[in-house]
Amino acid sequence: MSELYEHPYPSAALAAEHPFVEYHAPAFDAEEMAARAAAFYELMESRRSVRLFSDEPVDASLIEQAIMTASTAPSGAHKQPWTFVATSSAEVKAAIRAAAEEEEKVNYLENRMNDEWQEALAPIGTDWHKEFLEVAPWIVVLFEQRYEQRPDGERRKNYYVKESCGIAAGMFIAALHNMGLATLTHTPSPMAFLTKTLGRPENERPFVLFPIGRPLPGVQVPDLARKPLEDVMVRVDHLPNEDKGV
């Protein structure tokens, strides 16, 4: 199929200077592709954010596997500008809860969140109490590496950091759900206390916090419906007619 491309990738010069290997993609027939696509959609459609976790222990190897999966995400210039900081320590989790609730109390009770924001949250029913941060057996905080700090002290720029971390976060959530664990994307605002509490360097900034565990038996979640395909997908099969102002 290389005849399709006037400028194939990699060029001979690039391949001579940097290592490349042949990519072997999974191969499925059309029927199996459709079945796998439907099964994965059904799995992920059942995912919900959970706010009541069981305190049943979760083996560290499962957290490690989810982080490894997340780290397969594409990233700008393959810089992988993320650090996943995991803790199961009761002491550390208690400190995170105390600091998070202090910030959230200001958000909810002292009007740091505007009326529109609070109105949007009303059907979900969240407040400043974050007990799950101590009950969940694990907390994982994803930090974005704003720049690369090399061992010799040199700084090197990272590219598309937020986009890269966002993709990795999504893959982390999918990996957890796939193994039967629940999580919540918790973003206490501001989150700077996590840098100090977890002893992270100045080039890292907290991106999102994940409490992780098995859902508490009988836990309830908001009865939410997701937007249908026609509300989230637009197909474009021709160029806009600029003369008609379309």
Mind listing the pLDDT tens digit for each residue in 126-156?
888 899 999 999 999 999 999 998 888 899 9
The per-residue pLDDT of the chain, averaged, comes to 93
pLDDT at 245 over 70: no
Position 3 scores a pLDDT of 82
- What percent of the chain is predicted at pLDDT more than 70? 97
* Structure confidence at residue 233 as a pLDDT band (50, 70, 90): very high
pTM of the model: 0.91
Query: Alpha-carbon distance 127 to 121, whole Å?
Result: 9
For residue 125, being part of any structural domain is answered with yes
> What is the Cα gyration radius of the chain?
22
The verdict on residue 140 lying in a domain is yes
CATH code of the domain containing 205: 3.40.109.10
For residue 103, the Cα-to-chain-centroid distance in whole angstroms is 22
State the total domains in the chain: 1
Find the domain containing 207 and state its range.
49-217
| Residue 117 banded pLDDT, cuts 50, 70, 90 | confident
Residue 11 falls within a domain, yes or no? no
User: Dihedral (C-alpha) 83, 89, 92, 95: value to the nearest 10 degrees?
Assistant: 130
Please check whether residue 107 lies inside any domain of the structure.
Answer: yes
Task: Answer whether residue 37 is part of any domain.
Answer: no
**Is 238 contained in some domain?**
no
Decide if 118 is inside a domain: yes
In a domain, residue 66? The reply is: yes
